[in-house]
Amino acid sequence: MDTAEIQTLLKLEILIKILAQAVDATQRGQLEMAEKGFASLDRVADSEPTTLLRHVKPLALLGLALVRTKQRDPEQSRILREQAVAALDDDCRNVPLATFHYFMALEFFRLQDYRNALPFWELALQHAKPDMDPMLVAEMLQKLGECYSRMGLGDHAAIPLRAALKILAKFPEHPWRPATLITLGNALRKTAPAEAEAAFREAAEIHAAKLQYQSAAPAWVNLGILCAEQGRFEESLAFYTRVLRVRENDASTPPERIALLHNNIAGCYRRWKKSDEALASVDRSISLFPPSDPQRAYAYSTKAMTLRDAGRDQEAVTWFRTAIDERKKQASPSFEAYLDDLQGLIDALKRLHRDTELPPVEEELAQVLRQRDSIQSAQTGADRPEFSGGSVLIEIPNTNQADLRTREEVRDLVYTLAGALAEGGIGRISGHITSPETRTLIFTGDDAERLFDFLNPRLSSDPFFSGARIVIRQADQSRELFLPTRTTAVN
């Protein structure tokens, strides 16, 4: 690599740092700032059509698509995403920076374009340096597995998910572990239901043991789905009832989560051959979904299947078509669900003797099968390094009212701590994760006790960390402590 190429690569690294700030601003809701950042990167790319810097263009367009999604403009977001895909060329896969591929994958992932995210998660892992933070590697493996899972390719998902769990096994308190267990459970639900159930139960117990019921709810939902598929209908409804109670008692629960839950309840009743109860639940689900939510397709499909099972094929055809039309709007619909809807439509049309309508549907089914079969299984992660350093996990209750701060203030606090660690050569931040009940900061370094000794004076003196749970782990050894709970005087 000559001097000019080295200088161009250094410029690309700077541009990716600007991109990271714009992506972060998008997540924080600072959309004007984010849009300016993405637009400036787009201009740079247009001014450098013959150098590596041109590859910033798809990143900038994807960023603008994320902004439009936040602004509730799905059509413009779709147009920008398609422009980004058109701006990709084969050479962009040769960019020798893991961070370039990481952000390409992350932006596609957040736009729910899982198919286009897949190769970039793979490339990010391939370009990762040997000394890359294993927790970042675990995150990429988990996201890679989640892409496959959301596309209905469970057998493909298991490899990277198992690799992620192998890393996280060295740090069982890590908040990514339950989510990874749930995704692995979904990947195994049809092929290894006993193992899937064990994964769901472990994920649920991690949160329930700390009374974090909102965080435990996704695992309980998946247990409900698994029980319904196995004919354990009363158990299934018991899990759903528990989750419904948790979610309806929390005013902050997004309506789509309750809508999905009613759809799951409808699916249980359908398998139980209780069509009236199933239709009542699925209609409730459809009424609760926001109009633009792509997950409405699952409710449409459930209604179609319920009508089909009840012998109401004429109505089922309408709802299968509605579900299929909704899936076509999605960047990466689940192949499994899409194929089920197409096959359900074909079967209903045959029973109605509407044979002239079959050819285009059968061709669409064949096309989707070809697309599914073209997806290659990931082999990434099998030989990734195990986590061998030290970690400090700081779990702060979200219910702590002693020190209320804005998201910007929390971010500044986190990065101030991270900067001080990096400057002292002691460690780095590996995650800042928010769940319904807690905020969790994860710091890693060679020596966990040295990490904690450095952080402790700052944690003990700042009211934000009042009542925080601290886990200090070095290899297989860990200890846990709680910071004192502070109370705010009221005058």
Average pLDDT over residues 301-328: 97
Q: What's the pLDDT score for residue 128?
A: 82
Q: What is this structure's pTM? A: 0.82
- Whose CA is closest to 55, among 39, 65, 44? 44
Residues contacting residue 94 through CB under 8 Å, at least 6 positions apart: none
What is the C-alpha separation between 5 and 11, in angstroms, rounded? 10
**Of the candidates 111, 142, 159, which is a domain's last residue?**
111
Position 363 in a domain: no
Rounded to an integer, what is the distance from CA 396 to the centroid of its chain?
A: 22
Q: What's the pLDDT score for residue 264?
A: 97
Position 65 in a domain: yes
Tell me which of 135-144, 188-197, 226-235 is least confident: 135-144
Share of the chain above pLDDT 90, in %: 60
pLDDT in tens, 351-395: 999 999 999 999 999 999 999 998 876 555 545 555 567 888 888
Average pLDDT over residues 205-221: 93
Residue 74 corresponds to which tokens in the numbers above?
A: 């799905």
What is the C-alpha separation between 447 and 341, in angstroms, rounded? 53
How many domains would you assign to the chain?
2
Looking at residue 394, what DSSP letter applies?
A: E
Which helix or strand (DSSP H or E) is residue 21 part of?
helix 3-28
**Of the candidates 76, 111, 146, which is a domain's last residue?**
111
Tell me which of 63-77, 130-144, 383-397, 438-452 is least confident: 383-397
- Whose CA is closest to 391, among 344, 428, 438, 435? 428
Average pLDDT, the chain: 89
What is the C-alpha separation between 273 and 310, in angstroms, rounded? 8
- Whose CA is closest to 418, among 433, 406, 432? 432
Which helix or strand (DSSP H or E) is residue 443 part of?
strand 438-445
Position 180 in a domain: no
What is the C-alpha separation between 182 and 310, in angstroms, rounded? 32
Average pLDDT over residues 49-65: 94
**Higher-confidence residue: 32 or 408?**
32
Q: Angle at Cα 24 formed by Cα 472 and Cα 73, nearest 5°?
A: 135
Residue 230 corresponds to which tokens in the numbers above?
A: 């196995």
Average pLDDT over residues 198-210: 94
- Which SS3 state, helix, strand or coil, does residue 468 take? coil
What is the C-alpha separation between 310 and 343, in angstroms, rounded? 17
Q: What's the pLDDT score for residue 402?
A: 45
Position 129 in a domain: no
**Of the candidates 80, 111, 142, which is a domain's last residue?**
111
Q: What's the pLDDT score for residue 489?
A: 44
- Whose CA is closest to 53, among 111, 92, 18, 102? 92
**Higher-confidence residue: 470 or 1?**
470
Structural contact between residues 90 and 310, judged by C-beta atoms closer than 8 angstroms? no
What is the C-alpha separation between 471 and 482, in angstroms, rounded? 9
What is the C-alpha separation between 258 and 244, in angstroms, rounded? 7
Average pLDDT over residues 70-86: 94
What is the C-alpha separation between 313 and 307, in angstroms, rounded? 7
Residue 487 pLDDT level (bands cut at 50, 70, 90): low
Q: What's the pLDDT score for residue 203?
A: 95
Q: Could you tell me which residues are beta bridge partners of residue 392?
A: 443, 472
Position 329 in a domain: no
Residue 400 pLDDT level (bands cut at 50, 70, 90): low
- Which SS3 state, helix, strand or coil, does residue 433 take? strand
Q: What's the pLDDT score for residue 490?
A: 41
Q: What's the pLDDT score for residue 65?
A: 97
pLDDT at residue 1 greater than cutoff 80: no
Position 39 in a domain: yes
pLDDT in tens, 147-203: 999 999 988 898 899 989 988 887 788 888 999 999 999 999 999 999 999 999 999
Tell me which of 170-179, 209-218, 449-458 is least confident: 170-179
**Higher-confidence residue: 328 or 389?**
328
Residue 214 pLDDT level (bands cut at 50, 70, 90): very high
Q: What's the pLDDT score for residue 116?
A: 94
Q: What's the pLDDT score for residue 405?
A: 63
Tell me which of 84-88, 360-364, 475-479 is least confident: 475-479
Q: What's the pLDDT score for residue 390?
A: 82
The CATH number that applies at residue 421 is 3.30.70
Q: How far apart are the first and last CA of the chain?
A: 67
Domain containing 43: what range?
3-111
Q: What's the pLDDT score for residue 445?
A: 84
pLDDT at residue 209 greater than cutoff 60: yes
Position 416 in a domain: yes
Residue 403 pLDDT level (bands cut at 50, 70, 90): low
Position 403 in a domain: yes
Tell me which of 23-37, 297-311, 454-468 is least confident: 454-468
**Higher-confidence residue: 263 or 408?**
263
**Higher-confidence residue: 415 or 375?**
375
Structural contact between residues 69 and 31, judged by C-beta atoms closer than 8 angstroms? no
Tell me which of 102-116, 189-203, 289-303, 375-389 is least confident: 375-389
- Whose CA is closest to 160, among 384, 381, 375? 381
Residue 459 pLDDT level (bands cut at 50, 70, 90): confident
Tell me which of 254-263, 398-407, 416-425 is least confident: 398-407
